[in-house]
Structure 1
Amino acid sequence: MTITTPARATAVRHLSAPATARLLGSWRATGPAYASLADALRAAVLAGSLPALTRLPSERDLASALHVSRTTTSAAYARLRELGFATSHVGSGTVTVLPRGGRHAGSTRPSAGDAPVTDLADEHAVDLAQATPDAVDALHGAYARALEALPAYLGTGGYAHLGLDTLRRAVARRYSARGVPTTADQVLVTTGAQQALAVLATTLVRRGETAVVESPTYFHGIEVLQRAGARVVGVPPGDVESLESAVRATGARLVYLVPDHHNPTGTSLDHDARRAVADLAARLDVTVVGDETLTDLDLDGVGPLPPLAGPGTHPRLVSVGSASKSFWGGLRVGWVRADRQLVHRLGAARQVLDIATPVLEQLAVAELLEVEHEILPGRRAALRARRDLLVDEVRERFPDWDVPRPSGGLCLWVGLGRPVAQPLAAAAVAEGLQLSPGPRFTPDGTAKDRVRLTYTRSPAVLADAVDRLERAWRRVTG
């Protein structure tokens, strides 16, 4: 397989040597230092933390910052060029790029959903960073019924800024069935839950204000807050006392939580914690956003817990949901359940991004919600089997690791016993495996002894992934 790179790449940003050293963290593995450094840089490009078209520091400056020889950095840059991840020209330095020609046009390997947007160059690589399962069997039929319903909407302009009434009513019924009486005007339909989080962040947080999140947490949740200009402070998942202390100390305007099958730890807030969070929102006048994209994925039959919104409609309690994890990521349909005044405010703000969510996808999701009681048991059973396979395989191969078996969700939060998450992620890239190191899920770069492994791929792919993980671990530990 031939990998080609652009003849010339113009850098749009520059990364200093000290910043590169901070980005790479503990990058060393066993074997040649130049190979470990090249793998670490390549992993950063694939993770999106080192964007393409970034001019890297000079070989001399990076060698000084990393306390290695210039021969090491020179050989590492040469290795990056060989693999198609960098290009160098006189006067332009070394610039990161993404390889071209690394995948056949007909490849069906999924691109990253809950993962970085870049790809491994090898079409046979395994992606354990993505946390979005394949589509449910009922999806095709839902689209067929949606097409039958579509003619009724063709006489309109096609823009439903707050969402189609039929979908908003379906989502409202869903919340009402969970014990939270909801009407359609309390629901905003968005283009995926990620857009919902982005609109909430830009609407509710001003530049320089503080937002409090769990640490670790969903890394795109951290990103949307940081891009909105917020100072992001982390507290341990489930620790409501620390949460309240952080809100009081910082004057935070927004709290972001994943209450059900937390990403990445898999834990859930109990009834007492949910009541305490709702009370906190009212007493401290802070908006609490509960990300419920994983709520449906209760794999052990523990049973659904009530939304953070509780039985009322407090304006400071907001829920975000999505069809991505329950049915298919390609649907790109999400929603916000909030006070109707906030719904209209968010609806006006989201028009800067995309005006409205596509009509056909909304109709398809409305169809799926009508029969979700028939769909979700099969979804849970398939994910339960994959979770158990990955847990058992990893525990057997790595007896010194901490491998919890989460009661729901899509991933394992694995403890390595030593702070080598970033070197392991870099070594995994060399084995054709993509995984997510722990620091990516924290606002301060901690959790260096953890990695997140998703179990959304097929059993055969998961078994192959563990083989690659074992080889990567040997690279790190010798």
Structure 2
Amino acid sequence: MASTPARLRDGLSARTLASAIDMTAVARDSRSLYLGLAQELHRLVEEGAVAADARLPAERVLASVLGVSRVTVASAYRELREHGIAVSVHGAGTFVVPRGDSQPWGGILRGTRPGVLEFVNAAPPASALLGPAYGAAARALSTTGLHVGYVPTGVGRLREAIARYYSARGLPTTADQILVTAGASDALHAVIDTFVEQGNRVLTEHPTYPGAIDMVRAVGGKCVPVAIDPDDPDTFVENMDRAARQHDPVLAYLMPDHSNPSGAVLPETSRRRLAATLHRHAVVTVVDEASADLRLDGDAEVEPFGAPVPDSACITVGSLSKTVWGGLRVGWVRADTVHLARVAMTYARRQLSVSMMDQYTAVELFGEYDAVVAHRADQLRAGRDTAMAAVTRSLPGWTFHRPRGGLSLWCTLPSGVRSTDLVESARGRGLLLAPGSRFGTGYAFDECQRIPFSRSPEEIEDAVAVLAELVGAGVDAGPRESVPSHAVPEAMV
């Protein structure tokens, strides 16, 4: 067995860690090389040779020192994450998890560490209307002192407000079709956990929100990606039809309004055809509307997906996280009462109730929702225009579709530039980004890079300047090993 150093700490080098790894034991594992490596790394952690909080070496560097493929190391790290032994965050690295702790990287998320430009998450700052809404909610709550504080399906006034919101958009809804959750991701998780079982297939647009892919995989499902081209929605409908015939999916997951990351919007005619097509195949569509209200060019609102088909054909999830603030944990599920009852039973196993304070605040915000949306659109429009101008000026060869809404630019990189390497290099300059492969399945989208425009114009300019310097220095030149999306560390994106 290799000799074990007394204690390997944060920032340990690949060579130091490699000297402690018993590659003979790794090779003896009859299952696979990556599982053997994961087991050996686990041993070093359990024996205390690798310290709690230690940052493990970069995958590619450790792979080179050990003489194995990068995918082997990436898969071993993934195995450690899945067993709670390690945790990864884009731009920070992979860390050993101390017992009782799940965030050894401290304050690096959201740019709380000085000098860090956090562009992993496409999340805007709090709305200026949030503070007054909290104040009004506190005053309203002062009259409910005798209430126990648990409302499993959501406060009645909030469910009624959400129902009115959908009805005004052209999708008649009643309060008993609404379940309040702690954010859209919480809502989506409850839906997927209810309807997807081991081996089930779920159709997804491609690229797509990575959280949906992770949730499907977590319950043993399999994503079936269907490429979406903002310039050719009719082909997307035809391909979804074909995929539904060939794969017998139980669900389809879509973001028809300002999709993450591409910003694509499915036109009304196409969404009607697609809703009818999936209904004909008995596929329930899960419609993610987290970004539906983020229209930046004064476009008329497109009819909600599923309006022309029965309520049983679509389940919609939404939230106030993008229009108001991610810290306001209010989301919802809208569905027919039969489907909603099943989701509510699943959700009740995880959570008794969403914060009453947040729910009362949401009621206040829905009372002036037009102003809320207008305020957010002004902020994001400035960010989008800054990002487009900066990329066009400073990153020749980068191309993108001009998004008419949403939160990010989805850029195609010049030949020879790889997102995974670019993100790794940018981290050393204090810029944190999510690699393009995070938004797909398999080995897709390493030739793409998402740039959120939810930060201030000054921060966006700084981020693009860092990218321009790195690309100008030829940071991504040369061949590299492709990395599958599931081997890329998780992040809130």
Q: Helix, strand or coil for the counterpart of 2:198?
A: coil
Of the three residues 434, 441, 444, the one matched with 1:443 is: 441
Which position in structure 2 is the counterpart of 1:179? 170
Count of residues in Structure 1 that have an aligned counterpart in Structure 2: 404
* Mapped partners of 2:281, 2:186: distance in 1: 26
Question: By how many angstroms is 1:204 displaced?
Answer: 0.6
1:396 maps to 2:388: no
Residues in 1 aligned to 2:94 and 2:127: alpha-carbon distance in whole angstroms: 39
Alignment-derived partner of residue 324 in structure 2: 327
Find the aligned partners of 1:332 and 1:54 in 2 and give their Cα distance: 35
Query: Is contact 1:266-1:408 (8 Å) kept?
Result: yes
Separation in 2 of the partners of 1:209 and 1:354?
25
Work out the percentage of aligned pairs sharing the same amino acid.
33
Query: What amino acid does structure 1 have at the position aligned with 2:68?
Result: A
Please say if residues 241 and 278 of structure 2, whose CA atoms lie closer than 8 Å, have aligned partners that are also in contact: no
User: Does the residue aligned with 1:274 lie in a helix, a strand or coil?
Assistant: helix
Distance 1:154 1:280, change over 3 A: farther
Q: Counterpart of 1:425?
A: 423
- Are 1:129 and 2:127 matched, yes or no? no
* Paired amino acid for 2:431: L
Does the CA contact (< 8 Å) of 1:412 and 1:453 recur in 2? yes
Query: How far does the alpha carbon of each residue in 1:325-371 deviate from its partner, in whole angstroms, 9 at most, with x for none?
Result: 00111001101110012112111111222221111101101110110
2:221 and 2:95 map into 1 onto residues whose CA distance is: 35
C-alpha distance in 2 between matches for 1:15 and 1:475: 36
Structure 1 counterpart of 2:224 = 233
In structure 2, what is the equivalent of residue 92 of structure 1? none
Q: Determine whether 1:297 maps to 2:294.
A: yes
Name the SS of the counterpart of 1:457 in structure 2: coil
**Alpha-carbon distance in 2 for matches of 1:85, 1:343:** 39
Shift of 1:287: 0.7
1:247 to 244, 260, 273: 244
- Give distance in 1, aligned partners of 2:92 and 2:332: 40
Q: 1-side partners of 2:291 and 2:277: how far apart?
A: 23
- Quickly say closer, same or farther: Cα 1:84–1:222, change in 2 above 3 A: closer
Letter in 2 for 1:364: T
Unpaired segments ≥5 residues, structure 2:
1-8, 36-53, 71-90, 97-101, 478-493
- How large is the Cα RMSD of the aligned pairs? 3.1
Q: Structure 1: 5+ residue runs without aligned partners? A: 21-50, 68-82, 89-96, 104-108, 113-118
Equivalent residues of 1:313, 1:338 under 8 A apart: no
User: Residue deviations 1:77-106, cap 9 Å, x none?
Assistant: xxxxxx996799xxxxxxxx9766x65xxx
On the 8 A contact 2:56/2:93 being kept in 1, the answer is no
- Inter-partner Cα distance in structure 2 for 1:258 and 1:156: 37
Q: Secondary structure at the match of 1:336?
A: strand
Select 1:143's aligned residue among 131, 134, 159.
134
Looking at structure 2, the residues matched to 292 and 235 of structure 1 have their Cα atoms a distance apart, in angstroms, of: 19
1:309 has 2:306 as partner: yes
Give the C-alpha shift of residue 56 in structure 1: 7.6
Q: Match of 1:457?
A: 455
- 1:65 match: 68
Shift of 1:260: 0.2
TM-score when normalising by structure 1: 0.78
Q: What is the deviation of 1:378?
A: 2.0
2:350 to 344, 348, 353: 353
Contact in 1 for aligned 2:399/2:413 (Cα 8 Å)? yes
Report what 1:370 is aligned to. Answer: 367
Task: Please state if 1:411 is matched with 2:434.
Answer: no
Name the CA distance, whole Å, in 1 between partners of 2:270 and 2:156: 33
| Distance (whole Å) between structure 1 residues aligned to residue 456 and residue 63 of structure 2 | 45
1:123-167 CA distance string (max 9 Å, x none):
311011211101111101101111111134332221111111000
Partner AA of 1:254 in structure 2: L
Are 1:279 and 2:279 counterparts?
Answer: no
Aligned mates of 2:187, 2:152 — CA distance in 1? 13
Matched-pair contact (CA < 8 Å) for 2:276–2:309: no
The match for 1:260 among 240, 257, 261 is: 257
Return closer, same or farther for 1:475/1:431 CA change in 2, 3 Å cut-off. Answer: farther
Change (3 A) 1:285 1:464: same
How far did residue 63 of structure 1 move? 3.9
Moved over 6 A (4+): 14-18, 51-58
- 1:262-293 Cα offsets, whole Å, 9 max, x none, are 11111100111111122123211111011001
User: Compared with structure 1, are the counterparts of its residues 435 and 454 closer, same or farther at alpha carbon in structure 2 (3 Å cutoff)?
Assistant: same
Q: Give distance in 1, aligned partners of 2:418 and 2:58.
A: 26
In 2, Cα distance between the equivalents of 1:173 and 1:84?
43
TM-score of the pair, normalised by structure 2:
0.76
State whether residues 222 and 232 of structure 1, in contact with CA within 8 Å, keep that contact through their aligned partners in structure 2.
yes
Q: 1:282 to 1:454 in 2, by over 3 A?
A: same
> Secondary structure, in 3 states, of the residue corresponding to 2:252?
strand
